[in-house]
Amino acid sequence: MVHPSPKPEAARKLSAVPVALIAAGGTGGHLFPAEALAGVLTARGWRVELVTDTRVSGLGEAFPARAQHVVPSGTISPRHPIRAIRGAYRLMRGYYAARNLISSIAPSIVIGFGGYPTLPPVIAAAHKGVPTLIHDQNAVMGRANRLLAGHATGIATAFDEVKYLDVKYTGKARRVGVPVRQAVLAAAKRKYDEPKPGGELRLLVFGGSQGARVMSEIVPLGLATLPEDIRARLKIVQQCRAEDLEDVRNIYAKAGIGADLQPFFSDLPKRMAEAHLVIARSGASTVAELSVIGRPAIMVPLPHALDNDQLYNGRALEEAGGGRVIEQARFTPDTVAGAVMELAHDPKRLTAQAASARRFGTPRAAEALADFVAEIAEHGSVRVSPA
């Protein structure tokens, strides 16, 4: 990856109030890092506007943008020709809508955060000569970003090694990490509290914004088989789907395990900071937050994720020493019980994993990405360090 070099005199003259048009699909995985960047740019005097799709709903309410715009978007599904044609038609409509939007607001740069809704704005910007930057949160470059890589002025990544990033584009790529929310940075101030021998062992279990059935089906049964002295130490905080709550509550109650069960935690970063061990999926945002806060984890990648991005995300943190990946096919009650019992008897290992996770994290990712944005907006290119 390319590293920043000292900036020579700006090649482009920015307006007194530079404008950043951020393009992000309407899901938390794309919007949260975009929101973190928008906060930094706004604090630096930029005007930020958001272009997204109809899924944004309540997720965009806190987004620090002067205005939010929705342009038509669609996905391209090669296995479904009719859907592919419809998706291509919506993307074409989105392209012309994005061209009009860019002409209207005259952005200094357009930044895409992945997903097909970013295709029309980024391609339209490139065709109109506006500098562009794409950010990919995963260890596997997303399909939309692969399509955009040739159009983008710069590419920001979350990992040093990114699968499917074409080697011909590495010269304009730079690792910045995944920007995280202020709540995550606040939670990261809490130091890891090494479990005391025979003392409380706090586990946080969750499976994404909507929960995950596998966590409800496997984790409680596994923990219930642990020896009584370990079960007595456990304090569980677990996100469960509403339909799973009663069954999970009964399993823990019969096993004598204290548990706080809810369908959704609005303060998940704080809960993560309080945990001794986290059991979760390995989406880009989860891995970023685990590493910034610095908590050891057992990661269970979503098995049907496109291109297995969660597997590669989890492996990157595992290789850094921040936890362990258990693929869902091997994620059984016995596996969970064995992993937790091993760690319960080895608190020093948990502490070491927490420290390794924190070293892997990029708490200043939003600032680094904002620097990259300014560089490209000013120069119209990525400044390459001399060999």
Domain ranges of the chain: 19-180+363-379, 185-360
The pLDDT confidence band at residue 61, using thresholds 50, 70 and 90, is low
**203 pLDDT higher than 60:** yes
Structure-model confidence comparison of residues 291 and 212, the more confident one: 291
| 241-257 residue pLDDT tens | 999 999 999 999 999 99
* Helix H or strand E encompassing 251: helix 245-255
Closest CA to 153 of 118, 102, 112: 112
Torsion sign (Cα): 327, 331, 334, 339: positive
**Rounded mean pLDDT, 335-353:** 97
Contact 133, 155 (CB under 8 A): yes
**Residue 306: its pLDDT value, please?**
72
pLDDT at 387: 40
Residue 320 has pLDDT above 70, yes or no: yes
pLDDT at 111: 98
Name the fold adopted by 19-180+363-379.
Rossmann fold (3.40.50)
| pLDDT for residue 208 | 72
The radius of gyration of the chain from alpha carbons, rounded to an integer in Å, stands at: 22
Reading phi first (left if > 0) and then psi (alpha if -120 to 50, else beta), residue 115 is in: left
Q: Which of 39-48, 180-189, 294-303, 377-386 has the lowest mean pLDDT?
A: 377-386
CATH homologous superfamily, domain 185-360 = Glycogen Phosphorylase B; (3.40.50.2000)
- Record the pTM: 0.89
Structure tokens at 384: 């390459």
Q: Is it true that 19-180+363-379 and 185-360 share their CATH fold? A: yes
Residues 6+ positions from 1 with CB-CB distance below 8 Å: 157, 160, 170, 173, 174, 175
Q: What mean pLDDT do residues 10-25 have? A: 80
